[in-house]
Amino acid sequence: MKVLLSKIAVLGLGGLPILVLAWILIDISYSGLSEISWSFLTEVPTNAGRSGGISSVIVSTLWVVSIATMISTFIGLATAIILSELSAKWEKFCLIVRWSLDILAGVPSIVFGLFGNAFFSQVCGFGFSILSGALTLTVMMLPFFIRVAEEGLRQVPNVYRKTGYALGMRPLSVTFKIVVPQASKAIVIGLVLSLARAMSETAALLFTSGYVERWPESVFDSGRVLSIHIYDLAMNVPGGIERANASALVLIGLLIAINLIIYSIADFWQRKRVV
Amino acid sequence: MNIEEENIAIHLKDVGIRYGTTVALEHVNLQIRKGRITAFVGPSGSGKTSLLKSLNRLSDLEKDCVVEGEVIVEGFGDLNAEKIDLVSLRRSVGMIFQKPNPFPISIRKNFFLPLRERGIKDKKESDRRMEKALKRVGLWDEVHDRLNERADRLSGGQQQRLCIARALVLEPDILLFDEPCSALDPMATEVVEGLISELRGELTVIIVTHNLAQAKRIADEVAVFWCAGSCKNIVEFGCVSQVFDAPQSDFASQYLSGQRG
């Protein structure tokens, strides 16, 4: 009886995320799948998104997310390394940084949107643009990514660092050739999770990257991302719900594709590093 | 024990080590001979490993660790007084740890990383040096056909020999062993002990061990560490036969005979 109960508990709790995912997929596929076609993926939206496609929206999304990911990876990794490798020397400083990051991680995305609008769009003069949106997303992604990456770096046994030093390796080599590769799994997971959050972000981009549906000409041009397109179709466009669902399916598909690409690159690198 | 200057590899003058306010060791005066094997024995917490780590400044990595006095290493001078090039110091004074710790990468890369750092980037040259070091520790025949496999999948004894080979590939003058056999079975211990003995004459070896029989088997000289109350230092130092057969201090005689410690 006890075994049966524990099995039910394990299956029930473990299966819950699968059920939720399945439900969401079925729900949006139900009305969205029929809308997806080659022209939907290759044409620009017309009639407020009711007709045409979402090619410009996909491009804007990829622009915003790839810029945000690139900047976050460099700044985030560097900060995580400082926090994990120098915390013995700069104890108080690192404590304050960590504390600030934890607060930032909990700030609602709309606040980041307002900040991004005030700072990147207005003070820096980038206006409503892909760059403003990407930078705002960077600020939003960083706290989570840094903390996950830092935790991964801290998990690397200290003995590897000591061994590296004992073999006459320079501090930077110990960090980049031994510690960081060891923590690569956690770093990649942190990156993928924060990227997923960035891809589905609406509020922070509403005030920064704008919602012009045409094809963006440069990073200084305004561009509508998928999440905003979905939001707009579902909330402001009568008869747009099918198209919103279809766009949501594309967003999920993109997310899965990007995750697979990142994981396979990481996997390839990991195997190459070992030999 | 008075030794001629040119035969001294390490000279310690009134060395003290503390962690914050906790004293780990004090008033250590010691001359370690070149090309000999010196064993550090003594109860846990008597400062053996702390002293060992101060000899290549790995003590810098320990939190709040302060080394006082003069730690004079041949070719580098006083490690505490002058600005020391830590990278070349550690290449010259290698260290083998208690637990075998190959990097979780291929056997070959375990050698390439430190060699590359030393400026040897040519793969053929690295391979040649790796082969020489692996042959020296008797591991070549066991691993030559799986150099691209992960080093941490070898057995414990093989891993420790690999670590010794990896330290030897940098051609050090001094090699420090911190209880190198404590995580190994008796068979692997015998092999590693044999290896250490073979280094006699070529390198200066210092080995920390809890195993008195091991110290007796492989060392030329022994330093007995002791902690009595707040006083922690070396109570006896001399050649193996003298220290084991006719110890001068009560602490050493009781510890070595198994009555204390």
For the stretch B14-27, pLDDT in tens is 999 999 888 888 88
When pLDDT is averaged across residues A206-217 and rounded to a whole number, the result is 88
A36-274: CATH architecture: Orthogonal Bundle (1.10)
| Domain ranges across chain B | 5-100+171-256
* Structure-token match 């990257």, residue found: A209
Task: Give percent above pLDDT 70 in chain A.
Answer: 100
- Residues A60-93 have pLDDT tens digits of 999 999 999 999 999 999 999 999 998 888 889 9
* Alpha helices (H) in B59-211, listed in sequence order: 86-92, 107-117, 123-136, 140-143, 156-168, 186-198
Residues of B with CB under 8 A from a CB of A: 56, 58, 61, 63, 86-91, 94-95, 97, 99, 101, 103-106, 108-109, 113-114, 117-118, 148, 150, 163, 166-167, 170
Distance CA A138, CA B167 (A): 43
Classified as helix, coil or strand, A37 is: coil
Give the 3-state secondary structure of A205-267: HHCCCCCCCCCCCCCCCCCCCHHHHHHHHHHCCCCCHHHHHHHHHHHHHHHHHHHHHHHHHHH
Three-class SS state of B13 = strand
Secondary structure (3-state) at B145: coil
Q: How far apart are CA B52 and CA B176, in angstroms?
A: 7
Model pLDDT, residue B6? 75
The rounded radius of gyration (Å) of the Cα atoms in chain B is: 18
- Beta strands B204-208; B37-41: pairing state: parallel
With CB atoms and an 8 Å threshold, state whether B61 touches A160.
no
The pLDDT of residue B2 is 59
**Domain residue spans of chain A:** 36-274
Decide: B24 and B30 in contact? Cβ < 8 Å: no
Write down the pLDDT at residue A119: 96
Q: Are B225 and B49 in contact (CB under 8 A)?
A: no
Chain B interface test: which of A161, A165, A167 (most B C-beta within 10 Å): A167
Q: Could you give the CA distance from residue B54 to residue B51 in angstroms, rounded to a whole number?
A: 5
- Name the architecture of domain B5-100+171-256: 3-Layer(aba) Sandwich (3.40)
This model of the complex carries an ipTM of 0.90
Q: Which backbone phi and psi does B12 adopt, to 5 degrees?
A: -105, 125
Q: Cβ contact (<8 Å) for A178 and B113? A: yes
- B70 - beta bridge partners? B13
| pLDDT(A138) > 60 | yes
At residue A246 the predicted structure's pLDDT band, cuts being 50, 70 and 90, is: very high
How much is the average pLDDT of B173-194? Answer: 90
Question: Is A167 close to B170, i.e. CB distance below 8 A?
Answer: yes
Classify residue A45 by its DSSP letter. E
pLDDT value at position A50?
A: 87
Which chain A residue's Cα is nearest to B58? Answer: A166
Cβ neighbours of residue A45 closer than 8 Å, sequence gap 6 or more: A51, A52, A53, A54, A56, A57, A213, A229
- Structure-derived torsion over alpha carbons of residues B194, B196, B202, B206, reported in degrees to the nearest 10: -150
